[in-house]
Amino acid sequence: MSKIEQKFIELEKKNEKALIPFITLGDPSPEFSLKIVRTLVDSGADIIELGIPFSDPIADGPTIQASSMRSLANGMTPDLAFNLVKEIRGFTNIPLVFLTYYNIVFQRGVNRFFHDCSECGIDGVIIPDLPVEEAALALEASRKTNVDLIFIVTPATSESRLSKILQVARGFVYVVSLFGVTGARKKLSEITLETLKKIKPYTKGKIPVSVGFGISKPEHVKELILAGADGAIVGSAIIDILAKNLKHEKVVIEKIGKYVQIMKKMTIRHW
C-alpha cells in the first residue's frame, strides 16, 4: 500500500476526508513557494500537489497558466523542482504529488523522472496529457520506484475506459469535476456530482476518489463529501490569493493560511 493510500485510510479512521491544495513551484519565486508550502502544511493540508510549470499547460485555465508563466520567468526548472522537494522534506512528511505535463517527463527520461521523484520524496505524479492507453512506460517506472501514477477521470470517461484506469491506478483517482479547464467557480455544476456518483460504485473499497477543477468554497467541499468524495483538490482559488497580493508576502501567507484552515474544517464530518 502506498503512502498516499495510507493517508486516506488514516483520515477515514478520524472521520475526515483529504484536503489537497495545489501550488505552482517557483511562483512567485522558488524561495517564496517554499514558505507557501509550509503554510499549507501548518494550516492542515493532508496531501499537497506541486506543479512543475510547463509553457503550454493545456488543462489549466488563466489563473494557473499565469502562475506557470511567473514561475518560468523566475527561473523555475525541473531540476530546481526536485531540489525544492528535498527542502520541503526537511519540514514535513505528508504525501507530496507532482503535477506536470508529459513533455517534462519525456525530456528528462521517464525512468529517470520517476527515479528522481522517489529520491527527493515525491509520492505520486499526475500527468494530465498522458492517457492510460499510452502509459505503459510510465506505469512500469511508477511500479519500480513506488511512486503512484495518478490518473484523471472526466465526465466523458466511459465505463470501459474507467475499467482500464482502475486496473492500474494507484494513490487516488483524480476526478475532473467539469468540462473545460481549471479555475475557481461560484458553485458546483450538476455534472460534477453526477460524475462522482457515477464512478463511486466502481471505486468504493478499491481506491480513493478526489475531485478537482473549480473547487473554491467551503460549501463545495461539503457537497463533494456528501456525494461520496474522499478528497477535495483546491488550486486556482489559492493561486488567486497569491496573484492579487504578489507584492505583499505577509498578506499572502496570512490569507492562504486562513483559507486552507476554513476549507480543511469542511473535510471533517461534524455535520
**pLDDT, position 59:** 57
The helix (H) or strand (E) run that includes residue 197 is helix 190-203
**pLDDT, position 188:** 67
Residues 6+ apart with CB under 8 A from 118: 145, 146, 147
The helix (H) or strand (E) run that includes residue 93 is none
**pLDDT, position 18:** 98
Give mean pLDDT in consecutive 10-residue pieces for the chain, a chain of 271 residues.
Answer: 95 96 96 97 98 77 86 95 98 98 97 98 96 97 98 91 94 78 53 84 92 89 91 94 94 98 90 51
Label residues 115-137 b or e (16+ Cβ within 10 Å = b). bbbbebbbbbbbbbbbebeebee
**pLDDT, position 96:** 98
**pLDDT, position 227:** 87
Q: Among this protein's residues, is 140 annotated catalytic?
A: no
The pTM of the full predicted model, rounded to 2 decimals, is 0.93
SS3 label, residue 90: coil
Give me the catalytic one of 60, 123, 230, 240: 60
- Whether residue 229 contacts residue 214, with contact meaning beta carbons closer than 8 Å, is answered with no
**pLDDT, position 270:** 58
Residue 258 one-letter amino acid: K
**pLDDT, position 248:** 95
- Whether residue 20 contacts residue 49, with contact meaning beta carbons closer than 8 Å, is answered with yes
**pLDDT, position 60:** 63
Look-up of cell digits 475531485: 211
**pLDDT, position 136:** 98
Q: Which of 241, 268, 270 is nearest to 18 (CA)?
A: 268
CATH number of 3-262: 3.20.20.70
**pLDDT, position 127:** 96
**Measured between alpha carbons, how far is residue 3 from residues 20, 79, 142 in Å?**
14, 24, 14
Q: How many residues does the chain have?
A: 271
- Whether residue 151 contacts residue 163, with contact meaning beta carbons closer than 8 Å, is answered with no
In the beta sheet, which residues pair with residue 22? Answer: 49
Give me the catalytic one of 16, 49, 223, 230: 49
Residues 6+ apart with CB under 8 A from 74: 26, 27, 28, 29, 30
Q: Among this protein's residues, is 46 annotated catalytic?
A: no
